[in-house]
Structure 1
Amino acid sequence: MTTPQDVLITSLDVPSSRPVESGDLSLVLAGAELIDLLGDGSVTLDGELIVPGLARTPADRLLVDAASALVRRPPYESAQDWLWRRGEGLAAVYLAVMEEAGQVARRHRRILPGRPGPATATDTPARRRAAERWRSGDPVLTVLAGALGIQPGPAAAPPEISDDSVEAVLVTVGDAVVELDAVRQRRKIEQAAFDNIWRGG
């Protein structure tokens, strides 16, 4: 099990204070990948830059893809740039791979044949591990889920991140999600203004 998989399952199982947007989820999954790559020594952070470490082969197929996507020559990529580049469409990729593995199920809509409906996590060891990680108050999962509007119960202790590099990634993820939401809001305002002009004409 990987942190991105735990994040995706948590996003399906735990209610959010707002709808989980695929763009937000993609950014968070890219951040979760980076945290796992930090954890196994595949990368380190030099300030904001992602510096590849030892050439390791992660056990997970999607983390292998993530490791192969690293910029391995100077000037290295910043964590922020990684989120936007690696995160593009990443939620759909994870859903497809986890559906193929039987960890996620998608009911097909009757009204729109061929278009999948909402995804649900299936009863698998992966789901149980993700649920236990969430219940235990794992700080990394708590912060990543929080970026999606998923909050633990009021009695939960505030997450404490002991690793400075992991904390830096988590802050970057939160900033990126806020930035994406601002872009969405700006587009809505622009579209509303355009609609008003169109109707007025």
Structure 2
Amino acid sequence: MTTPRDLLIAAIDMAASRPLERGNLSLALAGAEVIDLLSAEAIRLEGDQIVPSHPPAMADRLLDEATSSLVLQAPYESLEDWLWRRGRGLSRAYLDALEAEGQLTQQRRFRWMPFRATQMVLVDSPARREAADRWASQEPILAALAVAVGIRDKPIGDFPGVTDDAVATVLAAVDDALRDLAFQRQRRALDKAAFDNIWRGE
């Protein structure tokens, strides 16, 4: 399994108790892809720039898509730009992949779920068990991403257990992007409230 898939599985399992915004998850999934590409030595970071190496064939289709979408020549893409570009609709792509592989089934919806009109339920599979084991072990990278999107409580300290500087850089970029997204949502909400007040004559 991959870090993005493990994060998505954890998010689905936690959705009933900790619903989250799909946009938040998409940004975190894009960050998780960068972390896996770093691990596979498909890329390296020079400052905040993503520099492609000689990537091996990735075993995961979506990671292959991520590799093929890299900017191959200087000036390379920044982490921030990658998160916003690659993250657009990425949670939907990963959900579709899990469903196509038979790892998600649709059930009649009895309460609100954050992903679809119908309730998506994970089947018992090796992938789900592997993700659950990684979650239970509080593996540092998955735990940090889970904290970022709000499905795990924040521990004391910055990314405890993460010793790789490049990975810490990615996690910090994800946090910054999520804060920016929250600011944009707040600003839109304030603008809408102000517009509504004008129409009400307030």
Both proteins in one fold, TM over 0.5: yes
The answer for the alignment partner of 1:187 in structure 2 is 188
Q: Distance in 2 between matches of 1:95 and 1:140?
A: 21
Q: Distance in 2 between matches of 1:159 and 1:15?
A: 24
Deviation at 1:153, TM superposition (A): 9.4
Answer whether contact 2:40 2:55 (CA < 8 A) is retained.
no
Q: Distance in 2 between matches of 1:41 and 1:190?
A: 44
Report how many residues are paired: 195
The answer for the alignment partner of 2:106 in structure 1 is 106
Corresponding position: 1:118 with 2:98 = no
> Helix, strand or coil: the match of 1:81?
helix
Q: Which amino acid aligns with 2:5?
A: Q
Q: Distance in 2 between matches of 1:4 and 1:25?
A: 10
The answer for the alignment partner of 1:136 in structure 2 is 137
Q: Distance in 2 between matches of 1:76 and 1:56?
A: 19
Answer whether contact 1:142 1:159 (CA < 8 A) is retained.
no
Which deviations, in whole Å up to 9, do the C-alpha atoms of 1:108-133 show, x marking residues without a partner? Answer: 669xxxx7423222211111100100
Change (3 A) 1:80 1:42: same
Change (3 A) 1:17 1:4: same
Corresponding position: 1:29 with 2:29 = yes
> Helix, strand or coil: the match of 1:55?
coil
Q: Distance in 2 between matches of 1:108 and 1:85?
A: 33
Deviation at 1:102, TM superposition (A): 1.2
The answer for the alignment partner of 2:73 in structure 1 is 73
Deviation at 1:163, TM superposition (A): 0.5
RMSD of equivalent CA atoms: 2.2
Q: Which amino acid aligns with 1:118?
A: Q
Deviation at 1:105, TM superposition (A): 2.2
Ranges in structure 1 where 5+ consecutive residues have no aligned partner: none
> Helix, strand or coil: the match of 2:118?
strand
Which deviations, in whole Å up to 9, do the C-alpha atoms of 1:50-71 show, x marking residues without a partner? Answer: 0001131100000000000000
Q: Distance in 2 between matches of 1:7 and 1:14?
A: 10
Q: Distance in 2 between matches of 1:150 and 1:12?
A: 10
Q: Distance in 1 between matches of 2:165 and 2:194?
A: 44
Q: Which amino acid aligns with 2:73?
A: R
> Helix, strand or coil: the match of 2:91?
helix
Deviation at 1:159, TM superposition (A): 2.7
Q: Distance in 2 between matches of 1:153 and 1:175?
A: 16
Answer whether contact 1:22 1:91 (CA < 8 A) is retained.
yes
Which deviations, in whole Å up to 9, do the C-alpha atoms of 1:66-86 show, x marking residues without a partner? Answer: 000000100000111100000
The answer for the alignment partner of 2:113 in structure 1 is none
Q: Distance in 2 between matches of 1:16 and 1:117?
A: 13
Q: Distance in 1 between matches of 2:49 and 2:38?
A: 12
Change (3 A) 1:109 1:152: closer
Deviation at 1:103, TM superposition (A): 1.4
Answer whether contact 1:107 1:116 (CA < 8 A) is retained.
no
Ranges in structure 2 where 5+ consecutive residues have no aligned partner: 111-115
